[in-house]
Structure 1
Amino acid sequence: MRVFVAGATGVLGTAAVRRLVAGGHEVTGIARSPEKRRVLRSLGADAADAGIFDTAAVRKAVEGHDVVCNLATRIPIGTAMMRGSSWRENDHVRADGSAILAKVAAECGVLRLVQEAVAFVYADAGEDWITEQSPLALVQATRSSVTATENAMSFADQYRFAVVLRFGAFYGDDANTRWQLDRVRKGKPVLLGDPDGFVSAITVEDAAGAVVAALAAPTGIYNVAGEPVRRAEWARALATAAGTDGSARYVSGLACKFLGAGAEVAARSLRVSSDAFHAATGWRARTDLAEGFAPAVKVMR
């Protein structure tokens, strides 16, 4: 298939492009600079110089493709994630960019749209499993993910497929993972929430595999994450990856009160089930915690 990827030079996008090309697909990705265009071409993909908000340029780039994968985001790094103002650019990309891509894809005769989304939209569920029918609890940083979901689902009809992937927290060779490991090495607090609560994370490589699997999924919204672990286990894995003893430190309850809505989201217990996506495609996360942190550890040496 001919696959167009928005966000092709991001962390997830690069991994997904590599997987798509390896799977025999003809891939075109958005790349706005000569350096990024070289990266895409080195992966075996074509590059399109089209800003995601430039409808005419996007239409020209998408024409002739069978699938559009929208993986474009602008995720804040580190403590900036706690500030609502830090999410404005990401909100613009997710909400407005997804609307343009869904509209253009329909006009260009694209048959399938794959949209990135996040599992952080779900309410704290404690010990309970979270499915696609579980209640949502939205804050500013997550509302645009729901908007992008709605835009993608509006693309679907009896001839066209829309697949939304609600990913767990990414980890691997990405900026936020490296930021966390650096703080753990310095003995600074990095975790929020109850140690008995659940974390549902996913490596970048496993997420890229899910993007490829989505090319054969029925229309729908799907949770996509690795096996949930207790936050205490996650804390120990962070410490091990950082090369320190014990566990990563937690932000105090008093400090959390000053961090805003972002802290409440990060502290939620999210025991996310990916069973629906597995049933639809056969996909499962394959990476354990030690393997998942290894790429970031290698870069930081």
Structure 2
Amino acid sequence: MRVFVAGGTGVLGRRLVPRLVARGHQVTATTTSVAKLDLLRRLGADGIVMDGLDAMSVGEAVAKARPDVIVHQMTAISVAHAGKPDMKHMDRWFAGTNRLRTAGTDHLLAAAEATGVTNFIAQGYAAWNGLREGGWVKTEQDGLDPMTGTPAEPGMAALGHVEDAVGKAGGTVLRYGWFYGPGATEDLVEPVRKRQFPVVGSGAGHCSWVHLDDAASATVLAVEQQAHGVFNIVDDEPAPAAEWLPYLAASAGAKRPMRVPAWVARPLAGDVAVTMMIEGRGFSNAKAKRELGWQPSYPSWRRGFAKELA
């Protein structure tokens, strides 16, 4: 198929594009930088510069590529675009990504409609942001936490927009877990090594992880099967922070994370980080396994962390 990957030079795009090419697909991938066109060529794609927030730029790029499927992987959370990760001010950290998940999604859907593309896949998120009621592990039928009144609220609203708009268009949303792997692990590990990432309170809040290569393999399956609906793309082991964080530190050769009470952490780290640590909900991958036939090569973050940080 002719596959249009919007956001081909992101951490997932760089793992996804070569897999699609290896499967025999003709890939057109976008970047916002002329300097990254060579990278896309090396990955096997036809590169094109596109501004995901400009409807005309998006429309022209899609029309030129004439794709059979559009894959929306546009974000702006790299250090180059958004600075260092900052959960305390998540509204500022995710401002660019939120625009790409609202206006950018709308522009891509409009371009898909204009060119007759019915196979549309978009990036969602399912790590710790399940609805904070009931059990610790959520399915696709469970809603995402709106995080009302916190700096994460705009981001959760943007994710809701993706699921609503893409769902109405008959497309697919892949709710990826917390990424780790090449290009994603170091930003996570740096604060752990500096002992700036403590276990807060009980550490009972759950999180779901996914290795970038597993996220890419699931995306290829969704492309080839022309899947529809919402899928949680996470590993087999949603786990509480009190388990995964010390294991991550040990894998990285760092000292054991400190444990601090919520009242100490809140003014320093913010409401979102405290909520994630204490009340976060993880996700089940049963639907993706059942309907896509997906099997993660890293079924547990334990194996993945140990390999990536060896």
Give TM-score scaled by structure 2 length: 0.85
For residues 46 and 155 of structure 1, the distance between their equivalents in structure 2, rounded to whole angstroms, comes to 27
Structure 1 letter corresponding to 2:247: A
- Which of residues 285, 288, 292 in structure 2 aligns to 1:277? 288
> Identity of counterpart residues, as a percentage?
31
The aligned residue for residue 136 of structure 1 is 144
For residues 275 and 107 of structure 2, the distance between their equivalents in structure 1, rounded to whole angstroms, comes to 28
Name the Cα RMSD after superposition.
2.3
- Which of residues 110, 128, 139 in structure 2 aligns to 1:103? 110
The aligned residue for residue 234 of structure 1 is 244
Shift in CA distance, 251/225, structure 1 to aligned 2, threshold 3 Å:
farther
Q: Pairwise mapping of residues 23-62 of structure 1 onto structure 2 (< 5 A)? A: 23-62=23-62
SS of equivalent to 1:164: strand
Q: Which moved more, 1:252-261 or 1:23-32?
A: 252-261
Q: CA deviation at 1:169?
A: 1.1
Q: CA deviation at 1:283?
A: 0.7
The aligned residue for residue 87 of structure 2 is 81
Structure 1 letter corresponding to 2:60: K
Per-residue Cα deviation, 1:150-204 (whole angstroms, up to 9, x for no partner): 2212322xxxxx11011111112335x3133222222333444633332211111
SS of equivalent to 1:53: coil
Per-residue Cα deviation, 1:62-110 (whole angstroms, up to 9, x for no partner): 1210000001112256551320222211111111100100111111111
For residues 276 and 231 of structure 2, the distance between their equivalents in structure 1, rounded to whole angstroms, comes to 21
Shift in CA distance, 218/289, structure 1 to aligned 2, threshold 3 Å:
closer
Equivalent pairs, count: 291
Please tell me whether the aligned partners of residues 199 and 229 of structure 1 are also in contact (alpha carbons under 8 angstroms).
yes
Please tell me whether the aligned partners of residues 6 and 71 of structure 1 are also in contact (alpha carbons under 8 angstroms).
yes
The aligned residue for residue 292 of structure 1 is 304
Correspondence 1:219 to 2:233? no
For residues 105 and 274 of structure 2, the distance between their equivalents in structure 1, rounded to whole angstroms, comes to 26
Please tell me whether the aligned partners of residues 127 and 271 of structure 1 are also in contact (alpha carbons under 8 angstroms).
no
Q: CA deviation at 1:220?
A: 0.6
For residues 87 and 222 of structure 2, the distance between their equivalents in structure 1, rounded to whole angstroms, comes to 28
SS of equivalent to 2:67: coil
The aligned residue for residue 162 of structure 2 is 148
- Point out where structure 1 has 5 or more consecutive residues left out of the alignment: 157-161
Correspondence 1:186 to 2:194? yes
- Which of residues 173, 185, 188 in structure 1 aligns to 2:182? 173
Please tell me whether the aligned partners of residues 180 and 190 of structure 1 are also in contact (alpha carbons under 8 angstroms).
no
Please tell me whether the aligned partners of residues 183 and 190 of structure 1 are also in contact (alpha carbons under 8 angstroms).
no
Q: CA deviation at 1:276?
A: 1.2
Give TM-score scaled by structure 1 length: 0.88
Please tell me whether the aligned partners of residues 129 and 282 of structure 2 are also in contact (alpha carbons under 8 angstroms).
no
For residues 19 and 206 of structure 1, the distance between their equivalents in structure 2, rounded to whole angstroms, comes to 11
For residues 14 and 137 of structure 2, the distance between their equivalents in structure 1, rounded to whole angstroms, comes to 31
Please tell me whether the aligned partners of residues 222 and 277 of structure 1 are also in contact (alpha carbons under 8 angstroms).
yes
Please tell me whether the aligned partners of residues 141 and 262 of structure 1 are also in contact (alpha carbons under 8 angstroms).
no
Q: Which moved more, 1:264-273 or 1:33-42?
A: 264-273
Correspondence 1:11 to 2:3? no
Shift in CA distance, 65/185, structure 1 to aligned 2, threshold 3 Å:
same
Per-residue Cα deviation, 1:92-149 (whole angstroms, up to 9, x for no partner): 1111100100111111111200000111542135644301112332122211011122
- Point out where structure 2 has 5 or more consecutive residues left out of the alignment: 147-152
Shift in CA distance, 37/286, structure 1 to aligned 2, threshold 3 Å:
same
Shift in CA distance, 104/21, structure 1 to aligned 2, threshold 3 Å:
same
